[in-house]
């Protein structure tokens, strides 16, 4: 499966963005508030590699508890999916479990995403491939 981004959980998004920029990353999408998950999200690119920075916006965010385990570190890899339902079924048959069922992702132009987990590789995200062949 083709990788869309590596998702980093961060405590202070602005500071993490600056640090990635110093490493040579360029901001691809400015900060967007995701009301579904109560997080702030931005995307940066380094060549063809993309990272997503995810900052819980409040202690009420469902992602906030993850800061204990994943402070400023990658915690999921997101893959393009041409068919979310087919990929979900095939991954379930391979031992993955859905941890967040199909929901829109405001920071991904409102496309649908699914989060799944496997005991062997942890959390993955699937995002619907954009119409029109865009690589975002």
Q: Which residues bind Ni ion (CB under 5 A)?
A: 7, 52, 78, 125
For Ni ion, the closer CB: 6 or 19:
6
How many beta carbons lie within 10 A of that of residue 65, not counting itself? Answer: 11
The answer to whether 22 and 67 are in contact (CB under 8 A) is no
For Ni ion, the closer CB: 125 or 128:
125
- E strand segments, 1-136: 3-9, 26-34, 39-46, 49-56, 73-81, 97-105, 111-118, 122-128
> What is the nearest approach in angstroms of Ni ion to the Cβ of residue 52?
5
For Ni ion, the closer CB: 19 or 111:
111
> What is the nearest approach in angstroms of Ni ion to the Cβ of residue 87?
15
Of all residues in the shown chain, the one whose CB is closest to Ni ion is 7
> What is the nearest approach in angstroms of Ni ion to the Cβ of residue 78?
4
Neighbouring-strand partners of residue 117: 97, 123
3-class secondary structure, 75: strand
Neighbouring-strand partners of residue 134: none
> What is the nearest approach in angstroms of Ni ion to the Cβ of residue 7?
4
For Ni ion, the closer CB: 7 or 56:
7
């Amino acid at each position: 499966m083709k990788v869309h981004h590596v998702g980093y959980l961060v405590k202070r998004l602005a500071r993490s963005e600056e640090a990635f920029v110093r490493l040579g990353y360029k901001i691809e999408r400015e900060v967007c508030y995701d009301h579904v998950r109560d997080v702030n999200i931005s995307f940066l690119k380094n060549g063809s590699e993309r990272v997503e920075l995810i900052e819980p916006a409040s202690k009420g965010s469902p992602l906030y508890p993850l800061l204990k385990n994943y402070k400023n570190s990658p915690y999921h890899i997101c893959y393009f999916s041409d068919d979310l339902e087919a990929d979900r079924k095939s991954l379930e048959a391979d031992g993955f479990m859905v941890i967040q069922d199909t929901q829109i992702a405001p920071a991904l132009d409102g496309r649908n995403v699914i989060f799944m987990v496997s005991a062997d590789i942890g959390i993955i995200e699937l995002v619907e491939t954009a119409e029109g062949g865009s690589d975002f």
